[in-house]
Amino acid sequence: MFSQPDSTESTPLPPPESAETDVSAGEPPSSTSSSLASAASPSLSDGTKTPSPNLSPNRPQIPITWPDGGILTLDWVTNLMSTFDWSSRNLRPAEFPTVLPVEVFDAIVLTASKILHKEPNCVSIEPEKEGGVGSSVVVVGDVHGQLHDVLFLLNETGLPSENRFFVFNGDYVDRGAWGLETFLLLLAWKVLLPERVFLLRGNHESKYCTSVYGFEREVLAKYGDNSKGKHVYRKCLGCFEGLPLASIIAGCVYTAHGGVFRNIPATPSKRAKGKKNRKVIVSAESVPLSLGSLEELSKARRTVLNPPWEGPNLIPGDVLWSDPSMKPGLSPNKERGIGLLWGPDCTEDFLKKFSLKLIIRSHEGPDAREKRPGLGGMDEGYTIDHVVPSGKLITVFSAPDYPQFQATEDRYKNKGAYIVLKSPNFDTPIFRSFEATIPRPKVNPYYNFEEVIDSDEELDLTLMVQSS
Any idea which residues carry the catalytic annotation? 204
Cis peptide before 67 (omega within 30 of 0): no
Question: CA 326, CA 375: separation in Å to the nearest integer?
Answer: 7
Helix (H, G, I), strand (E, B) or coil at 76: helix
Q: How many CA atoms lie within 13 A of 97 on its CB side?
A: 13
Question: CA 158, CA 196: separation in Å to the nearest integer?
Answer: 13
Helix axes 147-157, 179-192, angle to 10 degrees: 30
Q: What are phi and psi of 97, to 5 degrees?
A: -60, -20
The number of angstroms, rounded, from the C-alpha of 342 to the middle of its chain's C-alpha atoms is: 21
Question: CA 443, CA 446: separation in Å to the nearest integer?
Answer: 9
Question: CA 41, CA 32: separation in Å to the nearest integer?
Answer: 17
Q: What are phi and psi of 420, to 5 degrees?
A: -110, 130
Count other C-beta atoms under 10 Å from residue 332's C-beta: 17
Question: CA 164, CA 197: separation in Å to the nearest integer?
Answer: 9
| Stated length of the chain | 468
Are 64 and 100 contacting, i.e. CB atoms less than 8 angstroms apart? yes
Are 167 and 125 contacting, i.e. CB atoms less than 8 angstroms apart? yes
Q: Is 128 exposed, middle or buried (0-12, 13-18, 19+ CB in 10 A)?
A: middle
Report CA torsion sign: 150, 219, 170, 111.
Answer: negative
Of 253, 141, 246, 150, give the one whose Cα is nearest residue 200: 246
Which DSSP category does 225 fall into?
S
Identity at 197, one-letter amino acid code: V
Question: CA 208, CA 438: separation in Å to the nearest integer?
Answer: 31
